[in-house]
Amino acid sequence: MPSYSLSINGQMHTVEAPGEMPLLWVLRDLLDMKGTKYGCGLGICGSCMIMVEGKAKTACLLPVQAVGKQAITTIEGLSGNNDHPIQQAWRTAHVPQCGYCQSGQIMRAAALLQEEPNPSPEQIEAAMSQVLCRCGTYPRIKEAIQSAIQLSKKP
């Protein structure tokens, strides 16, 4: 079985896995990183959202062999002490209801703000439409992202 060296959350991890194994299962089953959730397995719901080189990606569709040396960030690596502006804003706005999609929502929002530090409402809606929230907390998600933008501007 092939061996892969992966840079995840700033640390190197070596795993043996079939090359076509989705990164989601490498993270959850082989590395015991359970923060990235399984939702649909089709790349539609966004619950498994991670960042690869700062770009939002669905881990359920990304084969481990396609990652190479690219830096992967999961919800566990977004912040060592949960003080990323997105995480702070999420708590303040009481975003989660059931909470299942939240790691995907947070990772998508973090990638958005990394790509565009001051997104328009339309850019926020377009980016966040990639992660489904079955509870319908979209107004709180938008509020949290707008709050995170302000938090990010503070020294």
Domain regions of the chain by residue span: 3-77, 85-153
27-53 residue pLDDT tens: 999 999 999 999 999 999 999 999 999
Per-residue pLDDT, 29: 98
As beta bridge partners, residue 91 has none
- pLDDT of 131 above 70: yes
17 burial type by CB count under 10 A (0-12 exposed, 13-18 middle, 19+ buried): buried
Could you count the other beta carbons within 10 Å of the beta carbon of residue 72?
Answer: 24
Nearest to 35 by CA among 90, 74, 78, 7: 74
Per-residue pLDDT, 68: 92
Per-residue pLDDT, 11: 97
86-97 residue pLDDT tens: 999 999 999 988
Give 17 or 151, the one with higher predicted confidence.
17
Mean pLDDT computed over every residue of the chain: 95
- pLDDT of 64 above 90: yes
- pLDDT of 155 above 70: no
- pLDDT of 154 above 80: no
Tell me what the mean pLDDT of segment 95-103 comes to.
91
Q: Is the pTM of this model over 0.85?
A: yes
Fold classified for 3-77? Ubiquitin-like (UB roll) (3.10.20)
Region of 10 (left: φ > 0; alpha: ψ -120 to 50; beta: rest) is left
Q: What is the CATH number of domain 85-153?
A: 1.10.150.120
